[in-house]
Amino acid sequence: MRCFGKQCSRVERSGALLWEEALVWVYAADQPLAAGEPLPLAVFPEPCVYRESAVAALGRTDRAWRIVFESSSMAGCLSAARAGFAVTVIADSQRIEGLRVLDRDDGLPELPMARFYAFAGKDSPAGSSLIEAARRAGQSRFASRGLRD
């Protein structure tokens, strides 16, 4: 059996790293982010590496925050951000029109890289070919800085 997944740090399980890309904070492009108020977050249900990355990064700051929206749908979190209802964390390649990236100038901490892996049940030529095809596709389309150690 083959399984594809993402992690924001190295995994202990034996997996083939396919690509990595930056996680980014996004919010409505046409609206200011309210200063001095707790940061409203739109997140996926636990467990989720995007959610965990946001909470961990904010936990290392003095920035107040609160979860105002939870959805198991990427479209739901993106819609909440695009409407100016909440900030969400996504992989940079998932950004859509109407969203802008927030950064330190907006009072938000840096986020880790998301790492996309393939996990194999047992070795086979077909499975190895599938993993290599996914690695090439991901690195050419999604990888923002190439692989790092």
- In this prediction, residue 36 has a pLDDT band, given cuts at 50, 70 and 90, of confident
What is the CATH number for 73?
3.40.190.10
Q: How many domains does the chain have?
A: 1
Q: What is the pLDDT of residue 2?
A: 44
State the Cα–Cα distance between residues 103 and 94, nearest whole angstrom.
17
Which pLDDT value is given to residue 145?
44
Rounded average pLDDT over 77-85: 97
Q: Is 42 inside any structural domain?
A: yes
Q: Is residue 146 part of a domain?
A: no
Q: Specify the pLDDT at position 15.
A: 73
**Worst-scoring range by mean pLDDT, 9-13, 31-35, 73-77, 85-89?**
9-13
Q: pLDDT at position 117, please?
A: 77
Do the domain assignments include residue 43?
A: yes
Q: Does residue 14 form part of some domain?
A: yes
Please report whether residue 148 resides in a domain: no
Does residue 149 form part of some domain? Answer: no
Residues of the domain holding 53: 2-141
Q: Tokens 């100038």, residue?
A: 105
Q: What is the pLDDT of residues 102-138, one digit of tens each?
A: 999 999 999 998 887 776 666 767 666 666 666 666 6
